[in-house]
Amino acid sequence: MDRGTWPERDHEWLDDYLAAVSQPNMASEAIEERTHEMLAALLTVDEAAESLFGPAEEVAADDVAEWGSEEVALEESLGSGWRSGLVFVGFNLLMADLVLTGILLLSHGWRIDVPVGAALITATCVGVLGAWSAALPLFEAGRPGWLATAIVTGAALMIGGVSLALAIDGERVLVDEAPCCWSV
């Protein structure tokens, strides 16, 4: 919003309106469109914004009630939306993979046996990390129920995965002599 296009007398009213309407559930495009509509109306009647529209806070409250939505809050919150969520999950999985690969390389050399229990524990950790990564952006957008869902899902995955890994014979190997990297 270009404040300079508004009449000088209405700058304070505009500032009050923008401060009141700038809520997490209001899309910036909707605010921009609404201020353009109000400016056009102001310029046609040549009246002060206060007398034409009323108090800025009341107008802003009406606009938030009419155009605000939870989906906008989710899309505009930090680290949310599909793209941000996928980047977050991908980064976390990459970091976990690098740490696990480093541990395997240091402890077993260039060729390793992959036991079934270790594969289950790794899959469990990835599942818990995925549940947490999916719920965190929703929590930041003001949906705490998703965080509780992620905690319950993660705990169930962890208990189930560890129990299954402990129940399986530790000598069973999923992959025998798997190369850790390309060798020349």
The token pair that represents 40 in the structure block: 């056009």
Q: What is the pTM of this model?
A: 0.45
Residue 78 DSSP SS3: coil
pLDDT string in tens for the chain (184-residue length)? 567 788 888 889 999 999 999 887 788 888 899 999 999 888 888 888 898 899 999 999 998 888 887 777 666 555 555 566 677 777 877 887 788 777 777 776 666 777 778 778 888 887 887 777 777 777 776 677 877 888 888 888 889 888 888 888 667 777 676 665 544 4
What pLDDT sits at residue 119? 79
Kindly tell me the sign of the dihedral angle through the C-alpha atoms of 58, 59, 64, 65.
positive
Per the CB < 8 A criterion, the answer to whether 136 and 79 are in contact is: yes
Distance CA(17)–CA(53), nearest Å, equals: 11
**Cα distances (Å, whole numbers) of residue 127 to 89, 156, 180, 183:** 11, 10, 23, 31
Closest to 91 measured CA to CA, from 152, 123, 132:
132
What is the four-CA torsion angle of 162, 166, 168, 169, rounded to 10 degrees?
150
